[in-house]
Structure 1
Amino acid sequence: MKTTTDTETPAANDPLVVPSLNTPQMRRILASSFMGSAIEFYDFILYATAASLVFNKVFFVGLTPSVAIFASFATLAVGYLARPMGAIVLGHFGDKLGRKGVLITSMSIMGAASMLIGLLPTTAQVGMIAPIALVLLRIAQGLAVGGEWGGAMLMALEHAPKERRGFAASFANMGGPAGAVLATLAVSAVSTMPNDQFLSWGWRVPFIASIALVAVGLVIRLKVAESPLFLALEDKAEEKRLPILEVLTKYPKSVISGTLVGMSSYTVQGLMTVWAISYVVDSVGMDRTSVLNIKAIGATLTIVGVFFAARFSDRLGRRPVMMIGIIAGAVLALPMMFMLQLGQLWLFAIALFIANGLVQAFIFGPFGAFTAELFPTRMRYTGASLVYQASSTLGAGFTPMIVAGLVVLGGGSLWIAGAAWAAAFLVAALAMRTVKEGKDADLTADEM
């Protein structure tokens, strides 16, 4: 009588049964993907929140309020500029040496940079050394995040069965907003302090505390096995090639189209969770703690939306699910900006919840699998990371500065910014039409 082995299960023989991710190894891998991404993005989003509320008052003193906030957002953009470089450098080693070692390195760099930001003296104490050091540490954060997401996503996706790739890859995407929730709640907790204490030392606490989260993440990550697809590729002993050169010469269309699609999701992040926070607190006068709590709820809704969108993408495909978010963003961009301008806290909450829970979540949920399925294994870490980080740099990194300028151009009205935002979604919709569906792609193929 024939027995069932670990590699030959009833599910494997029945095309109507979807393979399960509920095995000890996959649970550990998915937890590592989620936790690692959450910790990295806790640190990264913590900076974005502080850039909206603190750094213009601590590191850019002596400037007019509008110039100070512009300078603060400029340091935010510097970190985003470093992310593609991190994708190229750390992605190279991830494709050549393995996913696991790069992920441990990226987390260590991020933890050290964030702790040092929390210990950084102010401009009033050490002069220009303070903002220069802030920029350098922000660059270190950008390099670390540049290598984190791609590896965390691929470790889950490359261990998962084909029928569950979208859902498995989404754990890295769910980790990002989970980190944003932690970061926002951490700043919200210290923001209840008297303003002088908050600006003096309170804002530093979440940065310094991140080192404890990094220690937990490293323990989990060290227990995860290397990607089986990478190990299989390593066994082939193929000719050593530079992944970034292959990506740019053989798959330029995938890089450009994938980046334009991904930018739409990241304009949501840059506009609604960075620029809008500063706008409603400083220009409209909304309560800072209430706004941060709403932001935390919005990030939670992103996690829920990503969960369902990723599962739908395994059934329907990446393209149709992502198009729901893109079309919703194009239609609702101007109404959401109008709600911000009305200056009511409850309208701000509705706009943020729509932006995070529907628009961003449905684009972002399948995005990990979407990018991975654009490239073969030997360059997948570099290619997927480059698309993701270029999207975030162009979409979220520059959005706060651009929107701030468009608001000035519009004489304080937000309609120009809303129209530009809608245009970004329309560009993404056109770019999506040039990308083929990857749900059923063979990831072991040498060319894709």
Structure 2
Amino acid sequence: MTAPATSPSRRSIFVASFIGTSIEWYDYYIFGTAAALVFGQLFYPSFSPAAGTLAAFATFAVGFVARPLGAAVIGHFGDRLGRKSMLVLTLVLTGGATFLIGVLPTYAAIGLAAPILLVVLRLAQGFGVGGEWGGAVLIATEHAPPAKRAIYGSFAQFGVPVGVLTSNLAFLAVAPLSNEDFLSWGWRLPFLASIVLVVVGILVRRRLQDAPEFERLKKERTVSKVPVAELFRREPLTLALASLAAIAPPAIGYSVIVYMLTYGTQVIGYARPLLLTLILLSTVVWIATIVVSAVLADRYGPKPIYLIGTVTAVVWPLPMFALVDTGNAGLAFLAFCVAAVVQGLIVGAQGRLFTEIFDVRVRYSGASIAYQIGGMIGGAITPIAATALFATYQSSTPVAIYLTAICLLSLLAILALRVPRHVRHTEASVPAATDG
């Protein structure tokens, strides 16, 4: 009798899921930081400062447009071929594009070709990230004991705040440079450094194996032939509601980690290193809240915890901007910490929630597309809308009201989303990961 394959340890699943997403989001967020700090001057110098910032944020937003496409294509093959191979592909795409941005000539060197190439590389970066989150969450949750799916799903979620943390650390490391050196070559270093991290991530992920749930589908030859088509045919309402529910975390998150870098320095007058430090420190609160949220989601179910998070997302924008507008670093830090709690509450429950609402045959596609559509609406549009609203009204209040309105969409969606009492497969037959 053939011995069953050894289940991967919880440690190995954590490392593969967490390290990969951390690298991916580091790559993604350094672009957002650079868009706020330097891209307007280097790639759109003929624009006015406000128009240049808008153009840089629009280039940042292009990556979000590519993310749902990447989610659909990579999700398709993830549901057809397996999670492991797609997770290696996402690292190659995102990491390669990030490194090339670091060596990209500016407008002063090659003219119009510079912003065009920047957009192309941003599209490649976004396409890769589009398939990252769903695969990283599933590789963890599908190996998890049924009662610990939120905890395992949170492994990938740590990658988001850690990506923010490391990207800010990278820019803080070059912050002491003179403005001339920073604009000339300093901003490139965080992009170039990412290639080392990507190589490490690929080596780790090559050791992964797909979960028994998916392996059983392949053995029984019941893998969906066209997962995205089946998803839209069988679960369109679930997909639509999950997409709306996914808006709030990036809306709050990108208002802090991208828009606030411009608003806080150019409008309120915070020093750039100070603001980066405050955001960096708030990620510690973000990570801690994810842990608490995941534990509560496994105890009480993911939907109630997600609901609490979206309620706080609706309430917080007005107080957040009021605190930042004081110009007081301590109050700004408080604003960022509460925003971190808002995000942590939601994303700590999100991995389990998005795993359980989709059938295993279309799960990679469903979870990825929903997450990325929410990211596009909440993350891509927010910095652009916020910049335009402030330019029009010269007040942060319309910006805060806008954030409240789009977070309200998430609140209504999570209220309407139906979560099955039991997962749609026989969990008893799924081996749990070992603790070793």
Asked if these proteins are the same fold (TM beyond 0.5), I'd say yes
Amino acid at match of 2:41: K
Name the aligned partner's letter for residue 370 of structure 1. Answer: L
Alignment partner for residue 359 of structure 2, among 376, 381, 391? 376
Distance in 2 of aligned mates of 1:355 and 1:153 = 23
Work out the CA distance in 2 between the residues paired with 1:95 and 1:106: 15
Determine whether 1:421 maps to 2:403. yes
Matching residue of 1:110:
94
Structure 2 counterpart of 1:126, from 103, 110, 126: 110
Deviation (angstroms), 1:43: 0.1
Q: TM-score, normalised by structure 2?
A: 0.94
The superposition leaves residues 14-63 of structure 1 with CA deviations (integer Å, 9 ceiling, x where unpaired) of xxxxxxxxx86221011100000000000001101111101011111121
Asked whether 1:294 is paired with 2:278, we answer yes
What amino acid sits opposite 1:222 in the alignment? R
Partner residue, 1:87: 71
Question: Could you say which structure has the greater relative contact order, defined with CA pairs below 8 angstroms and 6 or more residues apart?
Answer: 2
Answer yes or no: is the 8 Å Cα contact 1:38–1:178 preserved in 2. yes
Shift of 1:222: 1.1
Q: C-alpha displacement at 1:176, in angstroms? A: 1.5
Structure 1 stretches of 5 or more lacking a match? 8-22
Q: Does 1:394 align with 2:377?
A: yes
For residue 388 of structure 2, the aligned residue among 392, 405, 410 is 405
User: Which residue of structure 1 lines up, in the alignment, with residue 319 of structure 2?
Assistant: 335
Residue type at the aligned position of 1:309: S
Counterpart of 1:278 in structure 2 is 262
Are the equivalent residues in 1 in contact too, given 2:251–2:407 (CA < 8 A)?
no
* Equivalent position amino acid for 1:387 in 2: A
Work out the CA distance in 2 between the residues paired with 1:379 and 1:87: 12
Contact preservation (8 Å) 1:318, 1:439: no
- One-letter amino acid of the counterpart of residue 229, structure 2: L
1:431 aligns with 2:413: yes
Trace 1:62-211 onto structure 2 (pairs within 5 A).
Answer: 62-211=46-195
Q: Distance in 1 between matches of 2:362 and 2:4?
A: 30
Match of 1:417, as an amino acid?
Answer: V
The offset of 1:368, in angstroms, is: 1.4
Shift of 1:276: 1.2
1:87–1:389: 8 Å Cα contact kept in structure 2?
yes
Give the conservation status (yes or no) of the 8 Å contact 2:79–2:223: no
Instruction: Give the Cα–Cα distance (whole angstroms) in 1 for the partners of residues 104 and 421 of structure 2.
Output: 46
CA distance 1:409–1:150, change in 2 (3 Å): same
**8 Å Cα contact 2:217-2:223 kept in structure 1:** no
Offset of residue 300 of structure 1: 2.3
| In 2: Cα distance, 1:93 partner to 1:277 partner | 37
How many Å apart are 1:286 and its aligned residue? 0.9
Task: Give yes or no for contact 1:318–1:438 (8 Å, CA) kept in 2.
Answer: no
Give distance in 2, aligned partners of 1:444 and 1:405. Answer: 50
Counterpart position of 1:360: 343
Letter in 1 for 2:79: D
Q: CA deviation at 1:373?
A: 1.2
CA deviations over 1:290-334 (Å, ceiling 9, x no partner)? 111111112222111111101110001111111221112222221
Q: Quick one: distance in 2 between partners of 1:34 and 1:100?
A: 14
Contact 1:92 1:382 survives alignment (8 Å)? yes
* Contact in 2 for aligned 1:314/1:439 (Cα 8 Å): no
Per-residue CA distance 1:365-407 (angstroms, 9 max, x = gap): 1111111212111110000000011111110111000111121
- One of 332, 337, 345 as aligned partner of 2:329: 345
Distance in 2 separating the partners of 1:51 and 1:425? 24
Question: Per-residue deviation at 1:444?
Answer: 4.8
Find the counterpart in structure 1 of residue 292 from structure 2.
308
AA matched with 1:372? T
Query: Is the Cα contact below 8 Å between 2:16 and 2:208 reproduced in 1?
Result: yes
Tell me if structure 1 keeps the 8 A contact 2:291–2:348: yes
Distance 2:9 2:420 in 1: 25
CA contact (8 A) 1:263 1:395 kept: yes
- Give TM-score scaled by structure 1 length: 0.92
Spell out structure 1 runs of 4+ moving beyond 4 A: none
Query: For residue 424 of structure 1, what is the amino acid of its counterpart?
Result: I
* Structure 2: stretches of 5+ with no match in the other structure: 428-436
Q: Following superposition of structure 1 onto structure 2, how do residues 210-229 of structure 1 map, counting pairs within 5 Å? A: 210-229=194-213
User: How far does the alpha carbon of each residue in 1:399-425 deviate from its partner, in whole angstroms, 9 at most, with x for none?
Assistant: 000111121232x11111112212223
Letter in 2 for 1:415: T
| 1:345 shift after superposition | 2.2
Give the stretch that moved more between structures: 186-195 or 65-74. 186-195
1:206 CA displacement: 0.8
Q: 2:220 aligns with which of 233, 236, 258?
A: 236
* Contact in 2 for aligned 1:341/1:413 (Cα 8 Å): no
The answer to which of 190-199 and 419-428 deviates more is 419-428
C-alpha distance in 1 between matches for 2:322 and 2:367: 35
Q: Secondary structure at the match of 1:286?
A: coil
Q: Which amino acid aligns with 1:109?
A: L
- Quick one: distance in 1 between partners of 2:425 and 2:338? 34
> Can you list the C-alpha shifts for 1:343-363, whole angstroms capped at 9, x where unaligned?
22222211111101x111101
